[in-house]
Amino acid sequence: MPPEPTTTDARPAYVEVALDLPVDRLFTYRVPAEQRTHADVGHRVLVPFRGRSLMGFVAGVGDAEPDFKVLDVREAPDAHALLGPELLELGRFIARYYGTSLGEALAAMVPRGVRHKGKGHRRRRVTLADDAKAVERDAAGKLSEPQQRILRRLRKHPEGFLLTDLCRAAHVSVSPVQTLAKHGIVALTTERSHGDALEEAAREAPHTEPLDPTDDQRRSIDALIAALDAERYRTFLLLGVTGSGKTEVYLQAMARCIAQGRQAIVLVPEIALTPQTVKRFRGRFDRVAVLHSGMTDAERAKAWRRIKAGEADVVIGPRSAIFAPVPRLGLLVVDEEHETSFKQQNAPRYHARDVGLVRAKAAGAVVVLGSATPALESYKNALDGRYELLDLPRRVGGRSLPSVQIVDRTSGEERQRRRAHIGRTLEIRMREALTAGGQVILLQNRRGYATSVACPRCGFLVECKHCDVTLTFHRSDAVAMCHLCGHERRVPGACPDCALPRLEFRGVGTQTVEEELEALFPDARVARMDSDSMATRDAYEDVLGRFEAGAIDVLVGTQMIAKGLDFPNVRLVGIVSADTALALPDFRAGERTFGLLAQVSGRAGRGDADGRVVVQTTMPNHPAIQLAAEQDYPKFARGALEDREQFGYPPFRRLLRVVVRGKRPEAVADRARDVQQVIVRSASPRAEILGPAVPPIGRVQGFHRQQVIVKAPEPREIATVVRALRAAKRPQRGVEEAWDVDPVGVL
Ligand code: ADP
Ligand code: ZN
């Protein structure tokens, strides 16, 4: 008879499990003897919950038998903990700070393919199988609007879409696609994932040697290396104008971190995660792991395990890469740290930069926040000495910043042609640049053809059925489309109110600009880059590749084209209308406008020829526009910080935004009042409570909305309110509630 294994008895008999449920507690289970070696803190466990099996994480263990009845753990599948103490602690911080359960926080941190045994090595592709059937069902009125939206896109793209891309482009869930597949109208096929452009870029990247740093770069690199050598937490704000060589600073600091046997994480905005970016890191270091949204669950899980095993020295990715399980974090780089895409827009609504600071502090790591236009929060921290400011005030190679010309669109000579969006000056500058063999980037930060369709007589506006916004007309598809929910409709031939037979298109979008370019520059090769034309990642990379190769002369697009691109032949950047973002009723409107203008201007003159920028505006004296033209961030920031202080906005106040939504406006209003009451009772006397009020867009996707905003001087005052809200009674059925700590906007 073999001896009884004695080790099992030393293992905990009970575990506290964090489940991905919006319930603010852990759940206790008993561990059967045979599972005990695998059920410890940080391990996954499969447990019974209300007749289902849920996967959760062990957050605590104990031997004392609880005084209530507990169920048994069903399975503890892993020999090793998936989560080390560091990430578990980070999860606790996120849950506490952003107001979710620990299970919800951990679910956001650990990729799905790791939490559940991922089989998803394949991607699903959708193609049109039988258009005749589709037409028939449509004629019989059997196709829903989402189904029609899907079909319209598939007719335009016979090669089909990856399922995820299609759902995003058509604003639909998977279910209408499945219904269409069931009726044999679309075909769903699986294809083996064969790597993607980013991986190829990584493989092909030629090896690069460190560049000889400029004096400015040298100072920054030295400071970072000294901090790394001290192996203590410290944060630096690298304020570097566009083209000042921030990346080289990151790279040389990373080399030191790797030499110490520690790992570096680089966060970049998703849109900036291009082959061009990846090559720069991969060319310098061998063991680079790239995380991105196009990966399958299985690919992501594989990368996660590699990273956890210490097989990657550098991890580069968007927001969620902050949770990469590197064994010893030495350096965290947040590039373009002002980008709002670092904030997650569903629960937990975490900000990757802020979470990164917490993680780095615990790990004794060095943080570099890099930007030409930092968030005012970060800049204030630098001014106050909480961060150390590193300054790169000049472009490398003696290049000068582009000269910026502000053009007043209201002045007479700019408005020669009717409905011309490219004014005289911009047209002349474009001709000069193109004649000289240069390339041009044109920014118009609205997609579509007309941002509204209106009746010139009675003022009727074509609006969304589900949202309180006007529909944007898309000429290429001949439909009016809602940019919030994807609803589409044909534009009526006559005004439904007064019967005037001609509606008017108003407002400029990228398609309008594209059309005008065809008329003005018939010989130029023009490409448009916005989320309509770039439904897939491949399309995006294809256009960037052709632009780089010189096969495109003019690139017109939304903010997609403003970020991080480094193309030396761009002589001119034109901003068709700088007013778009300024008009938004949001406290960050000025900061965003300044940032966008400075970033897109920074695309010009990165090669040997000087760059020029033309900014068209109807508000030539607005400080955000004036100072963006001067590229004087510190001056802009001083003024903007004064305004923030005067009106009580971040960084002088912390914000909490509670949004209540539901189909029935009275139920929403009732709940919003209850929320306000909870806040009034729990908030400190110094807190300011705004609302309940209907936000600027009162109805989205058929949901009515109300919001309450809390402003308080200290983060812990916000935390108290969040705790009270979590402890309060849940909203009634049909009403949802979301709280957003440190919101990036209040629209
Ligand atoms: P930023 O991110 O600050 O806009 P980049 O890192 O893209 O600037 O650098 C701009 C260009 O300058 C890149 O092409 C880069 O390779 C080049 N560069 C950076 N540092 C040096 C250096 N020390 N010597 C020569 N070229 C450099
Ligand atoms: Zn809508």
Query: What is the pLDDT at residue 246?
Result: 95
* Ligand 1 mean position, distance from CA 211 (Å): 9
Of 731 and 258, the structure prediction assigns the larger pLDDT to: 258
pLDDT at 419 over 80: no
pLDDT at 193 over 60: no
Averaged pLDDT, 527-549 = 81
Averaged pLDDT, 5-20 = 73
Task: Return the residue whose CA atom lies nearest to atom 5 of ligand 1.
Answer: 245
Query: What is the pLDDT at residue 538?
Result: 74
CA dihedral 676→682→686→692, nearest 10 degrees, is -10
* Ligand 2 mean position, distance from CA 439 (Å): 37
**CA–CA dist 56, 37 (Å, integer):** 17
Task: Return the residue whose CA atom lies nearest to atom 19 of ligand 1.
Answer: 245
Ligand 1 atom closest to the CA of 214, numbered from 1: 23
pLDDT at 86 over 90: yes
Averaged pLDDT, 73-90 = 90
Q: Which residues are found with C-beta within 5 Å of the ion, ligand 2?
A: 464, 466-467, 482, 484-485, 487
**CA–CA dist 747, 174 (Å, integer):** 28
Of 447 and 367, the structure prediction assigns the larger pLDDT to: 367
pLDDT at 5 over 50: no
Task: Return the residue whose CA atom lies nearest to atom 9 of ligand 1.
Answer: 245
- Range ranked top by mean pLDDT from 331-335, 393-397, 475-479, 546-550: 331-335
Tens of pLDDT, residues 617-668? 888 888 888 888 888 899 999 999 999 999 889 999 999 999 999 999 999 9
Ligand 1 mutation pick, 242, 248, 252, max ligand atoms within 8 A of CB: 248
Contacts of 584 (CB under 8 A, 6+ apart): 592, 747
- Range ranked top by mean pLDDT from 172-176, 191-195, 334-338, 450-454: 334-338
96-100, 453-457, 711-715, range with the lowest pLDDT:
453-457
Of the ligands numbered here, which is closest to the C-alpha atom of 371?
A: 1
- What is the domain class of 200-396 according to CATH? alpha beta
Nearest to 558 by CA among 587, 534, 539: 534
Task: Return the residue whose CA atom lies nearest to atom 1 of ligand 1.
Answer: 243
Of the ligands numbered here, which is closest to the C-alpha atom of 468?
A: 2
The CATH code for residues 399-447+509-643 is: 3.40.50.300
Ligand 1 atom closest to the CA of 241, numbered from 1: 3
Ligand 1 atom closest to the CA of 244, numbered from 1: 3
Contacts of 400 (CB under 8 A, 6+ apart): 605, 610
Tens of pLDDT, residues 462-495? 888 888 888 888 887 778 888 888 888 888 888 8
Cis, peptide link before residue 692, omega less than 30° from 0: yes
Helix (H) or strand (E) holding 213: none
Ligand 1 atom closest to the CA of 242, numbered from 1: 4
Query: What is the pLDDT at residue 414?
Result: 67
pLDDT at 584 over 90: no
Ligand 1 mutation pick, 217, 247, 278, 391, max ligand atoms within 8 A of CB: 247
Averaged pLDDT, 51-80 = 88
**CA–CA dist 649, 95 (Å, integer):** 24
* Ligand 2 mean position, distance from CA 84 (Å): 43
Helices and strands, counts by H and E, the chain = 23, 31
Of the ligands numbered here, which is closest to the C-alpha atom of 276?
A: 1
Of the ligands numbered here, which is closest to the C-alpha atom of 272?
A: 1
* Ligand 1 mean position, distance from CA 568 (Å): 11
* Ligand 1 mean position, distance from CA 217 (Å): 10
* Ligand 2 mean position, distance from CA 169 (Å): 14
**CA–CA dist 21, 57 (Å, integer):** 12
Query: What is the pLDDT at residue 501?
Result: 87
Query: What is the pLDDT at residue 722?
Result: 94
**CA–CA dist 427, 496 (Å, integer):** 38
* Ligand 1 mean position, distance from CA 566 (Å): 9
**CA–CA dist 176, 148 (Å, integer):** 10
**CA–CA dist 221, 451 (Å, integer):** 46
Averaged pLDDT, 419-426 = 84
Ligand 1 atom closest to the CA of 566, numbered from 1: 7
**CA–CA dist 27, 68 (Å, integer):** 12
* Ligand 2 mean position, distance from CA 470 (Å): 8
The CATH code for residues 654-741 is: 3.30.70.600
Query: What is the pLDDT at residue 122?
Result: 65
- Find how far residue 430's CA is from the centre of its chain: 32
pLDDT at 212 over 80: yes
Q: Is 398 left (phi over 0), alpha (psi -120 to 50) or beta?
A: left
* Ligand 1 mean position, distance from CA 213 (Å): 9
* Ligand 2 mean position, distance from CA 665 (Å): 17
* Ligand 2 mean position, distance from CA 481 (Å): 8
Ligand 1 mutation pick, 335, 339, 566, 573, max ligand atoms within 8 A of CB: 566
What residue spans define the domains of the chain?
Answer: 14-115, 122-192, 200-396, 399-447+509-643, 452-506, 654-741
Of the ligands numbered here, which is closest to the C-alpha atom of 703?
A: 2
Q: What is the mean pLDDT of the chain?
A: 88
Phi, then psi, of 167 in degrees rounded to 5: -60, -40
Helix (H, G, I), strand (E, B) or coil at 130: coil
* Ligand 1 mean position, distance from CA 397 (Å): 8
In the sheet that holds 479-481, the strands lie side by side as 472-474, 479-481, 488-489
Ligand 1 atom closest to the CA of 392, numbered from 1: 3
- What is the domain class of 122-192 according to CATH? mainly alpha
| C-beta of residue 230 within 8 angstroms of C-beta of residue 308 | no
| C-beta of residue 468 within 8 angstroms of C-beta of residue 601 | no
* Ligand 1 mean position, distance from CA 245 (Å): 3
Q: How many residues are present in the chain? A: 747
**CA–CA dist 83, 58 (Å, integer):** 9
Ligand 1 mutation pick, 276, 396, 600, 606, max ligand atoms within 8 A of CB: 396
Give the CATH architecture of domain 14-115.
3-Layer(aba) Sandwich (3.40)
Query: What is the pLDDT at residue 421?
Result: 85
Tens of pLDDT, residues 288-337? 999 987 787 888 888 999 999 999 999 999 999 999 999 999 999 999 99
Ligand 1 atom closest to the CA of 568, numbered from 1: 14
Label residue 117 by pLDDT band (50, 70, 90). Answer: low
Label residue 281 by pLDDT band (50, 70, 90). Answer: very high
Task: Return the residue whose CA atom lies nearest to atom 18 of ligand 1.
Answer: 245
**CA–CA dist 317, 332 (Å, integer):** 12
* Ligand 1 mean position, distance from CA 312 (Å): 25
* Ligand 1 mean position, distance from CA 243 (Å): 6
* Ligand 2 mean position, distance from CA 225 (Å): 51
Query: What is the pLDDT at residue 356?
Result: 98
pLDDT at 417 over 90: no
Of the ligands numbered here, which is closest to the C-alpha atom of 482?
A: 2
Ligand 1 atom closest to the CA of 602, numbered from 1: 4
Of the ligands numbered here, which is closest to the C-alpha atom of 489?
A: 2
Label residue 562 by pLDDT band (50, 70, 90). Answer: confident
Of 583 and 34, the structure prediction assigns the larger pLDDT to: 34
**CA–CA dist 657, 677 (Å, integer):** 15
Of the ligands numbered here, which is closest to the C-alpha atom of 602?
A: 1
Task: Return the residue whose CA atom lies nearest to atom 17 of ligand 1.
Answer: 245
- Say what percent of the chain tops pLDDT 70: 94
Domains 200-396 and 399-447+509-643 in one fold: yes
Task: Return the residue whose CA atom lies nearest to atom 2 of ligand 1.
Answer: 246
Of the ligands numbered here, which is closest to the C-alpha atom of 247?
A: 1
Query: What is the pLDDT at residue 201?
Result: 65
Pocket of ligand 1 (CB under 6 A): 211-214, 217, 240, 242-248, 396-397, 566
Nearest to 529 by CA among 546, 504, 516: 546
pLDDT at 712 over 90: yes
pTM beyond 0.85: the answer is yes
Ligand 1 atom closest to the CA of 246, numbered from 1: 3
* Ligand 2 mean position, distance from CA 467 (Å): 4
**CA–CA dist 116, 46 (Å, integer):** 10
Of 190 and 387, the structure prediction assigns the larger pLDDT to: 387
**CA–CA dist 453, 471 (Å, integer):** 7
| C-beta of residue 570 within 8 angstroms of C-beta of residue 602 | no
Of 413 and 141, the structure prediction assigns the larger pLDDT to: 141
Task: Return the residue whose CA atom lies nearest to atom 13 of ligand 1.
Answer: 245
Ligand 1 atom closest to the CA of 240, numbered from 1: 3
**CA–CA dist 622, 628 (Å, integer):** 10
**CA–CA dist 661, 629 (Å, integer):** 41
Tens of pLDDT, residues 220-255? 999 999 999 999 999 999 999 988 999 999 999 999
Task: Return the residue whose CA atom lies nearest to atom 14 of ligand 1.
Answer: 566
